[in-house]
Every structure is written in C-alpha cells, then in structure tokens.
Amino acid sequence: MGAPDNTRTSICNQALAHIKQRTIASLTEQSEQARKCALFYDSSRRATLRACDWNFATVHQQLAELGNVNAAQANPTIPSFQDIFPQWNYLYAYPAKCARFRKIYNPQRPVMPDPYRDRTMGERWSERWAEVQEFKIGRSPITNVLAIAANMEAAWGEFTFDVQDESQFDDMFIEGFAWKLATELALPLTADKELLALCEQKFEQEMGEAKRKNGGEGTERGPRHSAYESVRDY
C-alpha cells in the first residue's frame, strides 16, 4: 500500500522527473511546471483509477434502488424508468464517488457455477461462481440522475472509488499515475513528441503490470476436479 508521506507535490515531481523538468516546492508556486501540474493532476488521477481494477480502491456496496417495474405498474404516479431503460426491471442510483462501475451482483442470490470440459468425464461443474450480471448505465431525462439498470433485485455493486487521499494510494498506482501525468505534461513543457510517446508506452506497461498483480492479489486456488485439469494447471 501507499505511504503517509505521499503528497501531490511528490507525485508531480516524479512526473516532472520523467520528462527531465525541474521539480517544484508546491503546486501553488509561480512556475510553469507547477501551473501545468495543477491543471492536469486530477484528470490524470481519475484516468489512472479507471485504467485498472485497483484493489486499494475497490468498494462493494449495496445499491440504492430508485424504482422497479412492479412499483411503476402498481402506481402510475411513479415516473417509470422503462421509458428510458427498456427491457430492464430495476433501476439503482449510481454510487457516489464512483470512478468506474465494474460489476453488479447479489451476494445472497444462488447462481449457476461455470461449466468446463473434461476429457474423461465430459462437462462438469466447477467451484468458480459466475457473479457477473448484465447492466446498463444512463442518465434519466426526468430526474437527471445517473442510474444503473439491471434485472436483479437487491443488487450490490463493485466499483472503483474515487480515492483522493494520497496517503491511501497503492505504490503501483503512484508509479502509473506519475507516468500518466507525465504524458499530459510532456508536450506543454517540452514540445517533444518522442518523449510523449515514451511516457505513453511506460504508462501502458505500468498498467499491464498492475492488472497482472492486482488480479492475483488475494486470489485463492480452488480445488482441482480431475487429473486432466491438474496437468493443464488451471
């Protein structure tokens, strides 16, 4: 995880070092480097949050229901969201401080596990449960509320929280964030397109490594079901 001494200034200085620019003492100082860092800091932070399913920023939360088909049909005075979200039965409020919504599910609802093929026994059921459900995100023209439509009752959401406290940032996130910020600073401060391409490449590399490490962090291997599966090392 991150360190309590992470600050906006320290992250900006990492980005500036990537493009061989002088460091700053604060984002409020009267320098072109500080002004550009202040301009691009938050947009680069949000873009880096959306680029990976960061474990440090993951939130699981029950969603607030805005309405459902049965209620709208029973009481015609309730604005029906079916006019704008056809084919969906439930409407939920988009979570506050959500940088990217990933998954909708119900932890109490039985779901079918994933099938897989086994040469010796044909199709078998594994222990890997299929939580992911379809959903649609849109804005209501009636209430102007960003909402999530789904066909699941009492739904929970998994999403990336819009973390702004630098002391909570994961070390991998800071590495990627600094490179993303460097991509925004490269042209305004250096006018060097080759340097911009290098920063973009480094950011993609950092995100690839972060996705690999975040995907395996906290993952437990399930029980094996056959010798064939063991040989394949699923």
Domain boundary among 116, 142, 163: 163
Q: Are residues 125 and 32 in the same domain?
A: no
Q: Are residues 29 and 67 in the same domain?
A: no
- Six token digits for residue 97: 């401080």
| CB-based contacts of 205, cutoff 8 Å, min separation 6 | none
Measured N-to-C along each axis, helices 193-216 and 171-190 cross at an angle, to the nearest 10 degrees, of 170
User: In this structure, is residue 47 part of a structural domain?
Assistant: yes
* Continuous segment of H or E residues that includes residue 98: strand 98-105
CB 98 within 8 A of CB 159: yes
Domain range spanning residue 195? 1-54+170-219
User: In this structure, is residue 178 part of a structural domain?
Assistant: yes
Q: Are residues 152 and 92 in the same domain?
A: yes
Q: Are residues 134 and 209 in the same domain?
A: no
* Continuous segment of H or E residues that includes residue 16: helix 8-18
Q: Are residues 136 and 125 in the same domain?
A: yes
Rounded distance between C-alpha atoms, residue 119 and residue 28, angstroms: 65
Backbone angle region of 211, left / alpha / beta, with phi > 0 → left and psi within -120 to 50 → alpha: alpha
DSSP string, 188-224: HHH--HHHHHHHHHHHHHHHHHHHHHHHHTT--PPPP
Taking only the tens of pLDDT, the chain with its 234 residues reads: 445 568 999 999 999 999 999 999 999 999 999 999 999 999 999 999 999 999 999 999 999 988 887 766 666 566 555 566 778 888 899 999 999 999 999 887 555 545 544 444 444 444 444 455 789 998 876 677 789 999 988 899 999 999 999 999 999 999 999 999 999 999 999 999 999 999 999 999 999 999 998 865 644 433 433 333 333 333
User: In this structure, is residue 142 part of a structural domain?
Assistant: yes
Q: Are residues 152 and 101 in the same domain?
A: yes
| CB-based contacts of 203, cutoff 8 Å, min separation 6 | 176, 179, 180, 182, 183
Compute the Cα dihedral for 211, 213, 214, 220 and give only its sign: positive
Report pLDDT for 132: 54
- Six token digits for residue 71: 């209620």
Rounded distance between C-alpha atoms, residue 65 and residue 208, angstroms: 35
Rounded distance between C-alpha atoms, residue 87 and residue 143, angstroms: 20
User: In this structure, is residue 38 part of a structural domain?
Assistant: yes
Domain boundary among 126, 145, 163: 163
User: In this structure, is residue 34 part of a structural domain?
Assistant: yes
pTM: 0.77
Rounded distance between C-alpha atoms, residue 108 and residue 36, angstroms: 48
Q: Are residues 115 and 201 in the same domain?
A: no
Domain boundary among 139, 163, 187: 163
User: In this structure, is residue 225 part of a structural domain?
Assistant: no
Rounded distance between C-alpha atoms, residue 151 and residue 133, angstroms: 8
Q: Are residues 74 and 146 in the same domain?
A: yes
How many distinct structural domains can be found in the chain? 2
Altogether, the residues listed in the chain come to a count of: 234
User: In this structure, is residue 226 part of a structural domain?
Assistant: no
Rounded distance between C-alpha atoms, residue 198 and residue 65, angstroms: 45
User: In this structure, is residue 83 part of a structural domain?
Assistant: yes
- DSSP designation for 171: H
Q: Are residues 135 and 102 in the same domain?
A: yes
Backbone Cα Rg of the chain: 23
Q: Are residues 76 and 28 in the same domain?
A: no
Report pLDDT for 142: 66
Q: Are residues 80 and 139 in the same domain?
A: yes
Q: Are residues 96 and 37 in the same domain?
A: no
Is beta strand 135-139 parallel, antiparallel or unpaired with respect to 122-129? unpaired
